[in-house]
A and B are shown apart, each in its own frame.
Chain A
């Protein structure tokens, strides 16, 4: 028995390391899950004079996708968002985070716009209030305005099927 102990310790450690390798260190648990979505009131990209506030969406389940024109991963995520927007699964709103070069409107015209509306967070304060650590990040907000999930990183088809679809089904019931 005794001579097996090193092997057992090794296998246990290897197991921890193996699991650790496949975990995203940026996937920090959000303290907002189960809490009301923080308020903001920001101008809408491409629609001068119009503003967007999360409170307007009370009564529906919606997504807030934090992105930026300068963000490379967001461009990678864009086709999936387009596909989701076309399917009409859930309304997707955008938060244009710290777009200092004012490129969002032009970019969305050029590559397609999956968003119902995009709020323009030039200073990044709304992002800070929502606990954004990087782009892209996507929040699921329920009918009562409570944040139910936060996806850090790109929504791939697999992520969509495993994390979003079951939750949205439950929330839309």
Chain B
């Protein structure tokens, strides 16, 4: 009996998989595409949120707009163009390479080069100090004599 109850409990305790509610009636393929696209777009109202995550009124309107355009058969690129035409590159989380974003794109590499340069020169300086510190042959001989005498 005990065993039976235990077996029953184990069956009952099997994990339940929950999922976030999906909007009803939407075309799942378009919803998926929209979700992927809006993950990488910035909400203009709460700027640290993506367009996918934001609950701002404007974000909801824009998602509605994007959905409509995708249903009309626009490509992702065209949809992004629609948004950048209105809000500028600012909506893109991944900024395009422009003359004014060069520092943004290559700044890290620049700092890496700078750091490597500093590293190289520091090491070289340290090596030359060590080399300069090396005792002369005469001094070494003197030291060896002293050590032998102590023996």
- A residues whose Cβ falls under 8 Å from a Cβ of B: 25-26, 28-32, 98, 124-125, 128-134
Contact = CB atoms under 8 A, between A and B. Distances in A.
Interface string B30-73: 00000000000000110100000000011001100100000000
B87 A131 contact: yes
Contact of A124 (B61, B84, B86, B88): B61
B61 A128 contact: yes
A4 B88 CA distance: 41
A131 B57 contact: no
B87 A31 contact: yes
Q: Is the interface of A mostly helix, strand, loop or mixed?
A: loop
Nearest to B65: A128
A134 B84 contact: no
Contact of A26 (B47, B62, B65, B85): B47
Interface in B72-108: 84-88, 90
B88 A30 contact: yes
Contacts of A25: 47
A29 B90 contact: yes
A29 B47 contact: no
A133 B45 contact: yes
Nearest to B43: A133
Nearest to B42: A28
Given A29-B90, A124-B58, 8 more contacts: A25-B47, A28-B90, A98-B57, A124-B57, A131-B86, A133-B44, A133-B87, A134-B44
Contacts, number: 38
A23 B58 CA distance: 23
A129 B15 CA distance: 48
Contacts of A132: 58
Contacts of B57: 98, 124
Contacts of B58: 124, 128, 132-134
A30 B90 CA distance: 9
A164 B47 CA distance: 27
Contacts of B61: 124, 128
Contacts of B88: 28-31, 131
Contacts of B62: 128
Nearest to A124: B61
9 contacts: A28-B44, A31-B84, A31-B85, A31-B87, A124-B61, A125-B65, A128-B86, A131-B86, A134-B45
Listed from nearest, the 10 A-B pairs whose CB atoms lie closest are A133-B44, A131-B86, A31-B88, A28-B90, A124-B61, A131-B87, A29-B88, A25-B47, A134-B45, A128-B86
A34 B15 CA distance: 59
Interface string B107-135: 00000000000000000000000000000
Contacts of B44: 28, 133-134
Give the one of B45, B61, B85, B86 with max A CB within 10 A.
Answer: B86
